[in-house]
């Protein structure tokens, strides 16, 4: 899917330029874009090093585990099909903690393990269970406290207050998460009705 988008952006851009005579701008944009991307990545180094460093302190001191135990009571309610002491619940909690703290790379392996455990609970069938869909809804809604990458990009483009969108992002992510959970419950209800009818 990403391949098609990438090829479309380049292809459509070059074809459009053929017709409205903007080939010079396009040629300039190619090299400017590549240069911007590299500058941006080096701009990301500062924030990423800082943030992952701090999060490693939090992990070593046990603060992340502490955070996970605070999340537990709420999360257990979201997954009524999973026994609270099942390994799946542990992985779900670790995944959510990592996502909340903006540690996307740490979240992915935990998420995969969580889905594998949920598959075992689902008698190893190759269809998605109710819990899996809820888990997916939570993950795609992207519940995050600190959008570190966004702050770094804003810094890079000279924002006078790079962190000013943190509050808005927390509110927006809260809304999309709440909506995801409601939509998930709605679809679940629809499935069970169909099953009975």
Partner 1 sequence: MGWMNTVSIWVVPMLLFAVILHAAVKRVPAYDAFVEGGKDGFQMAVSLIPYLVGMLTAVSVFRASGAMDLLVQAIAPVLALAGVPAEIAPLAMIRPISGTGALGMMSSLLNEYGPDSFIGRLASTMQGSTDTTLYVITIYFGAAGVKHIGDALKVGLAADAAGVAASVFIVSMIFL
Rounded-to-integer distance, Cα 26 and Cα 37, Å: 16
Q: Does 78 bind partner 1 (CB under 8 A)?
A: no
* CB of 64 vs partner 1, minimal distance in Å: 9
> Which DSSP string corresponds to 128-163?
--HHHHHHHHHHHHT--S--HHHHHHHHHTT-SSGG
The SS3 call for residue 84 is coil
27: left (phi over 0), alpha (psi -120 to 50) or beta: alpha
With vertex at residue 142, the alpha carbon angle to CA 98 and CA 33, rounded to the nearest 5 degrees, is 100
Selected range binding partner 1 among 6-14, 69-77, 83-91, rule: CB under 8 A: 6-14
Map the footprint of partner 1 across residues 89-118, applying CB under 8 A.
99, 105, 108, 111-112, 115-116, 118
* CB of 123 vs partner 1, minimal distance in Å: 13
Binding-residue pattern over the window 30 to 59 for partner 1, x denoting contact by CB under 8 A: x-xxx-xxx-xxx-xx-xxxxxxxxxxxxx
Selected range binding partner 1 among 10-18, 68-76, 78-86, rule: CB under 8 A: 10-18
Q: Does 192 bind partner 1 (CB under 8 A)?
A: no
The values of phi and psi at residue 84, to 5°, are -55, -30
Complex with partner 1: residue 5 or 74, whichever CB lies closer: 5
């Amino acid at each position: 899917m990403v391949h098609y988008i990438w090829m479309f952006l380049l292809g459509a851009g070059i074809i459009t330029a053929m017709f409205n005579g903007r080939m010079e701008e396009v040629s300039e944009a190619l090299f400017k874009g590549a240069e911007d991307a590299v500058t941006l990545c080096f701009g990301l180094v500062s924030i990423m090093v800082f943030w992952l460093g701090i999060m490693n302190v939090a992990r070593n001191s046990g603060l992340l585990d502490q955070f996970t135990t605070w999340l537990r009571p709420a999360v257990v309610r979201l997954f009524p099909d999973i026994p609270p002491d099942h390994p799946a619940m542990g992985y779900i909690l670790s995944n959510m903690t990592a996502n909340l703290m903006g540690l996307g790379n740490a979240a992915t392996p935990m998420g995969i393990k969580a889905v594998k455990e949920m598959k075992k609970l689902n008698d190893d069938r190759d269809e998605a269970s109710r819990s899996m869909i809820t888990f997916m809804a939570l993950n795609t809604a992207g519940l995050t406290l600190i959008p570190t990458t966004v702050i770094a990009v804003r810094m890079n483009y000279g924002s006078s207050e790079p962190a000013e969108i943190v509050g808005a992002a927390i509110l927006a992510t809260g809304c999309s998460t709440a909506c995801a959970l409601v939509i998930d419950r709605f679809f679940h209800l629809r499935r069970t009705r169909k099953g009975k009818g």
